[in-house]
Structure 1
Amino acid sequence: MLSVMSELLRWLDPIADIRSDASRLFVSGARGAAAFVPRGFPDVLARHRAARGGHREAMLSELSTAGWPKSACLGEEEKRLDACQTCSVRLSKLWLHRGQCLLCETKLRSRGRCPYGGARCSRSFCPHDSRCIVCEQWSCERCRLLRGDGEDVWQIAAQHQPDVIFLDFDRTLCTTKAGASPLSGNHSLDSDLVALCGMHQRVYIVTRNSRSEDIAFFLRQHGISARLKEEQAHASEASGLRGNVEVRSIKREGFRSKVNFVLQLLADSMGGSEATGLFVDDDIKELTEDCEALREVLASGRLLRLLFVRSGGKE
């Protein structure tokens, strides 16, 4: 508790000093997939989750053989007990998590289902670790679906050396919400993704936002060599890469999905079959749409996907 309070006190002063023309510090995710927090904002609950995880398996084994302890089903008043959404057993809140008793949660996982999101998490549930990428903030190399912030993207790009990088704009590279112009209001860019744009030779900003011209202009204002599809890229010069970042609006170009665009660009890059890519977006739907079309390129290891979150939301 002391660490939480000290962290809260640490950020109260900069929050209080914010003015209307200042850069944003905290921005909540529109769909719960991303939260913009300042660099250095820690995950204060990581230590507690690690301690809980160490005893979970032993507890589940005991419950499956001996049943629920008497204290789990007793309360001074009936209203103090809540029903499991799956089996309807009434238990105290200690034995329920997000509406599921611990035993039903385990059974649902064994059936390949997310115990919390149900059918809507069918594409984000990892069959290898029985965890949900979204609901449980999980990453899986075998699914080719990771979760991380800008620094993670930078490190993954350095490690895997993809031929092409595909970055979402709204709520990922920039603090804008879907469809908004970055030239309206005070918006900022993720510093690690900006650095990546300055280092990699081929980056596509893949967005549903139709304001491509505004996006390219805004990126150039912040030192990124951005261009539109119809603008010719310049060769690399001594001062750095020129025109290596291309802004593409799938809405304006008529692509049915971002996955469709990514797959087409991979097929057209470097002769096709050998091109590799890194696809970064804050919306799990964008990363998992067109599953059948994705299957081959994921199995071959040519595409790695990353669900983007800000520092403090990874664990």
Structure 2
Amino acid sequence: GGGLRAVFLDFDRTLCSTKAGRSPLLGLHNVDPELASLCTTYPVYVVTRNPHEAEIVTFLEQRGVAVARVCVVPKRASKADVMVQVLPSLKSGSQQARVSPYEAHDDDAARAPERVTPVQAVFVDDDVRELMRPSVSELPGLLRVLFRRTGL
């Protein structure tokens, strides 16, 4: 089937106002209302390096933000690994997404239809390094969004 199958949201400085892996239960933190509203429409997975998994779950429940799962990613691991575990089809479309340079010549453009991999999932993060990691950027069907909270 087509359509968006998952939304992957970073936690610190993206879905939540927390920074540097701190517990969301300490201090006055808030969720971004637009990102939180996605949780009512799509299966949302929090993909974070913040180690406070139980506190994140509690924090979101207290605010009525329903997520499918909170996934804590170790420092040296890639968030892509978690995304592929959740949605294995993200990786399987790689052959259809690649267009050979031999097929992309200008004079052949009229004959060769452009092959586009449909977007299956969106990954929202405030850190461009997470979005540009090859393991993430090479996933066909994953739309990457750089997010900046205002007022921080």
Return the TM-score normalized by structure 1: 0.36
Shift of residue 225 of structure 1? 2.3
After superposition, the CA RMSD in angstroms is: 2.7
1:282 maps to amino acid? D
Post-superposition offset of 1:267: 1.3
3-state DSSP of counterpart to 1:305:
strand
Give the match for residue 80 of structure 2. Answer: 259
* Distance in 1 between residues matched to 2:82 and 2:127, nearest whole Å: 16
Question: Which secondary structure does the structure 1 equivalent of 2:88 belong to?
Answer: helix
What SS class does the counterpart of residue 199 from structure 1 fall into?
A: coil
Q: Distance in 2 between matches of 1:263 and 1:255?
A: 17
Bigger Rg, structure 1 or 2: 1
- Partners of 2:7 and 2:26 lie apart in 1 by 27
1:279 is aligned, of 123, 136, 147, to 123
For residue 47 of structure 2, what is the aligned residue in structure 1?
206
Q: Which has the higher helix share?
A: 1
Residue 310 in structure 1 maps to residue 131 in structure 2: no
Q: CA deviation at 1:257?
A: 1.4
Cα distance in structure 1, aligned partners of 2:4 and 2:12:
22
| Aligned ranges 1:220-299 → 2 under 5 Å | 220-226=61-67, 245-251=68-74, 256-267=77-88, 273=93, 276-289=120-133, 291=134, 294-295=137-138, 297-298=139-140
Amino acid at match of 2:72: S
- Alignment: residue pair count: 126
Q: Tell me which stretches of 4 or more aligned residues in structure 1 moved more than 4 Å.
A: 272-275
- Residues 255 and 261, structure 1, Cα contact 8 Å, conserved in 2: no
Answering whether residue 59 of structure 2 is matched by residue 218 of structure 1, we say yes
- Contiguous gaps of at least 5 residues in structure 1: 1-159, 227-244
Name the CA distance, whole Å, in 1 between partners of 2:135 and 2:56.
31
Higher-RCO chain (CA-CA 8 Å, sequence separation at least 6): 2
**How does 1:11-160 map onto structure 2 within 5 Å?**
none
- Write the letter of the residue equivalent to 1:185: G
In structure 2, the CA distance between the partners of 1:204 and 1:293, relative to structure 1 (3 Å rule), is closer
Deviation at 1:179, TM superposition (A): 1.2
Summarize the Cα distance change of 1:304–1:268 in structure 2 as closer, same or farther, 3 Å threshold.
Answer: closer
Alpha-carbon offset, residue 180 of structure 1? 0.4
8 Å Cα contact 1:259-1:286 kept in structure 2 = no
Cα offset, 1:175, TM superposition: 0.4
Q: C-alpha displacement at 1:309, in angstroms?
A: 1.3
Contact 1:174 1:188 in 2 (8 A): yes
Q: Which amino acid aligns with 2:24?
A: P
Relative to 1, partners in 2 of residues 1:225 and 1:283: Cα closer, same or farther, differing over 3 Å?
A: same
Cα distance in 2, alignment partners of residues 262 and 292 from structure 1: 10
State the Cα distance separating 1:194 from its structure 2 match: 1.1
Contact 2:23–2:55 (Cα < 8 Å) also in 1: yes
Q: Could you tell me whether the CA contact under 8 Å between 2:78 and 2:135 is conserved in 1?
A: no
Percent identity, please.
Answer: 42
Deviations 1:184-221 (A, max 9, x none): 00001101111111221x11100001110000000000
- The residue identity in structure 1 corresponding to 2:35 is L
User: Structure 2: which amino acid aligns with 1:224?
Assistant: V
- Give 1:172 deviation, angstroms: 0.3
Residue 213 to residue 162, structure 1, CA distance change in 2 (3 Å) = same
Distance in 2 between residues matched to 1:225 and 1:215, nearest whole Å: 11
